[in-house]
Amino acid sequence: MLKKFADGLVFGAGFGISLAIVWLIATAVLLPHAATSHMSPPVASLTTTHEGDGERVEPPAEFFHELPIEEQIKAASVIALASYEPAEDGRMKAVLKEFLKKDQDVTLYYELGDEYPPSSYYPKPNTRYGDGIVIFFEGSPAMMRRSMSYSGDRIMSLGDMPMKLLRNKCSKDSA
């Protein structure tokens, strides 16, 4: 009788483990497919201008980095240029040096000469940070949406775009 009980216990444990494995495999295979069937619409359909009222609907912040650089410039309310300067504590401070674009009446809680703390850093050995950063802000009050480093007069993450070309694109958008 005890042997029959032990056999039933082993059978039940084996059955339970098998069922758990089948459940895990099924969820690993089926759930990723279910999640991708409800994807968001393409970015291009999210930026629209309503006829007559001049209202512009901006894309959500999570799509900002996917826009072409020209659209990012249009969407940005402030584009700031900061350079790295050494601080007494060994940190490299990101100090705002120039506004490539700043919309009128935009609220920005930084002025030229201010440190932009989120981009300041403590240097690590064998790591290249560039000479500074370009920071894109959106809205009012302005919130940071993207930043990219530059070295010399080239912006690495924009295919080594010259700073002069970015300045031209920003001045065309402001005009």
Based on the structure, what is the number of domains in the chain?
Answer: 2
pLDDT of residue 175: 60
pLDDT at 127 over 90: no
Domain annotation covers residue 113: yes
Regarding whether 164 and 80 lie in a shared domain, the answer is yes
* Residue 143 domain-assigned (yes or no): yes
pLDDT reported for residue 55: 54
Q: Is residue 16 pLDDT above 60, yes or no?
A: yes
Establish if 6 belongs to a structural domain: yes
Q: What is the pLDDT of residues 72-103, one digit of tens each?
A: 999 999 999 999 999 999 999 999 999 999 99
pLDDT of residue 112: 96
Same domain for 13 and 71? no
CATH number at residue 102: 2.40.50
Same domain, 107 and 27: no
83 and 22 share one domain: no
pTM over 0.95: no
Residue 41 lies in a domain: no
Buried b (16+ CB within 10 A) or exposed e, 62-73: ebbeebeeebbb
Q: Which domain holds residue 31?
A: 1-35
Residue 149 lies in a domain: yes
Helix, strand or coil, per DSSP, at residue 175: coil
- Answer yes or no: do 98 and 154 share one domain: yes
User: Is 49's pLDDT higher than 50?
Assistant: no
**Token pair for 27:** 């969820």
* 161, part of any domain: yes
> Does residue 20 sit within a domain?
yes
Of residues 95, 105, 168, 79, the one with CA closest to residue 132: 95
